[in-house]
Structure 1
Amino acid sequence: MRHRSGVPVPVPQPAVPADALTPTVNDPADAEREAGVARLFELHYTPMLRLAVLLGADDPENVVAEAYYQIYRRWRRLRDTAAAEAYLRSTVCNLTRMRIRHLQTARKHAVRSPDEMVASAESTALLRDDQRVLIDTLRQLPTRQREALVLRHWLGLKESEIAAAMGISSGSVKTHTARGIAALTQAMEARK
């Protein structure tokens, strides 16, 4: 660049080199995290979505997306990346529980019309009568009992895995499972 007088004027240089301003995408830790979370997504997205649905989430896609975001953020802090599935499952359970609690509080204060309280005819007709009773009873169970039953009988987890996912002891898992089964059995026998 030249001044009007023809004398060259030095161009100010940035204090930081231009290549330092661009984010590093070749960081091995970031690449490992991206690959790990992508692998988890491919293998476990659908089961985690079903888990959120069975636990009663009204927005299961958002719950699962939030769970994947949480594991993505904490990937470097995972002590054992092989335990990522268990961490993901636990996160889905916790997020679902938090959302249900929030919705229960919000619904207590909301005014609902009678139309909103009735299930659609299509969804009612699709389920056989005994399935409907079972699902209605499952929905009415306390949260911990419902979680224990879904994790045990839908996912087929062991007591220790259920305890880790729910953040409770194995003894509590046994108690919640037994009470939930008793309530479901009682509801089904009452139909006969």
Structure 2
Amino acid sequence: MGAAADLPVGGVRRDADALVVALFQAEAARLVQLARWFVDDRTAAEDLVQEAFLRLARSQHRINDPDRAAAYLRSIVINLARDHNRRGLVSLRHRLPADPDDRSAEDHAAADESRREVIAALRALPRRQRDCVVLRYYLELSVGDIAGTLGLSPNSVKTHLQRGLRSLKTVLEVKG
């Protein structure tokens, strides 16, 4: 039964597999960077993205619109990152942190401090505001794409963006 179950029916399974592979090639690096906005450890971010692709591959039969698959994948990554931060995924919790960058402290101290302040400010935002701001300004998604990724209306996305940016401005101006 194993070999027969893997045979494509009318090419549907082969098309779905090709979609997952194409998404991995096109989106994996950006998704790891997206996950890094939510988790501190690069290794954990990579594992979250890998898990997201596994979940996508397992549920690929439910993908009716290949154009929405990237949004679905982004939402999986965001939800996994939330789960990681809330409870900690057991397999990720016991890993050693990734090696730090080999950059010179003198060359990047100011940039690193600014980046830490921005990330801390982002992480302090309410969940929806943070999600919208990161997707808009880091992944450069349109309001419509953010709405599709998070399952919100475009007007809700705009509201969360406005509130998030206002909060970031207030927090970062106080520190600056």
Gaps (5+ residues) in structure 2? 89-99
- Whichever residue aligns with residue 178 of structure 1, its letter is Q
Query: In 2 relative to 1, CA 64–22 (structure 1 residues): closer, same or farther, beyond 3 Å?
Result: closer
Instruction: Please tell me whether residue 23 in structure 1 is matched to residue 3 in structure 2.
Output: yes
* Alpha-carbon displacement from aligned partner over 1:69-116 (angstroms, at most 9, x marks no partner): 12112222211122211211122122222222224xxxxxxxxxxxxx
The one of 147, 165, 176 aligned to 2:131: 147
- Whichever residue aligns with residue 98 of structure 1, its letter is D
Structure 2 CA distance, aligned partners of 1:22 and 1:32?
20
Aligned length, in residue pairs:
154
Q: Which residue of 1 aligns with 2:68?
A: 83
Instruction: Please tell me whether residue 185 in structure 1 is matched to residue 169 in structure 2.
Output: yes
Instruction: Please tell me whether residue 97 in structure 1 is matched to residue 107 in structure 2.
Output: no
Aligned positions of 1:6-21 closer than 5 A: 21=1
Is the partner of 2:145 in helix, strand or coil?
helix
Cα offset for 1:22? 5.6
Cα offset for 1:175? 2.2
Give the superposed CA RMSD. Answer: 2.4
**8 Å Cα contact 1:130/1:188 also seen in 2:** no
Q: Which residue of 2 aligns with 1:18?
A: none
Query: In 2 relative to 1, CA 38–57 (structure 1 residues): closer, same or farther, beyond 3 Å?
Result: farther
Give the structure, 1 or 2, with the largest relative contact order (CA under 8 Å, sep 6 or more): 2
* Alpha-carbon displacement from aligned partner over 1:122-148 (angstroms, at most 9, x marks no partner): 99x544233332222122222222111
The one of 21, 40, 49 aligned to 2:23: 40
Cα offset for 1:155? 1.0
Normalised to the residue count of structure 1, the TM-score between the two structures is 0.69
Gaps (5+ residues) in structure 1? 1-20, 104-119
**8 Å Cα contact 2:37/2:119 also seen in 1:** no
Is the partner of 1:157 in helix, strand or coil?
coil
Specify the structure having the higher radius of gyration (Cα).
1
- Whichever residue aligns with residue 134 of structure 2, its letter is V
Query: In 2 relative to 1, CA 75–177 (structure 1 residues): closer, same or farther, beyond 3 Å?
Result: same
Instruction: Please tell me whether residue 132 in structure 1 is matched to residue 116 in structure 2.
Output: yes
Identity, % of aligned positions: 34
Q: Which residue of 2 aligns with 1:51?
A: 34
* Alpha-carbon displacement from aligned partner over 1:163-182 (angstroms, at most 9, x marks no partner): 22122222322222122211
- Whichever residue aligns with residue 29 of structure 1, its letter is V
Query: In 2 relative to 1, CA 168–82 (structure 1 residues): closer, same or farther, beyond 3 Å?
Result: closer
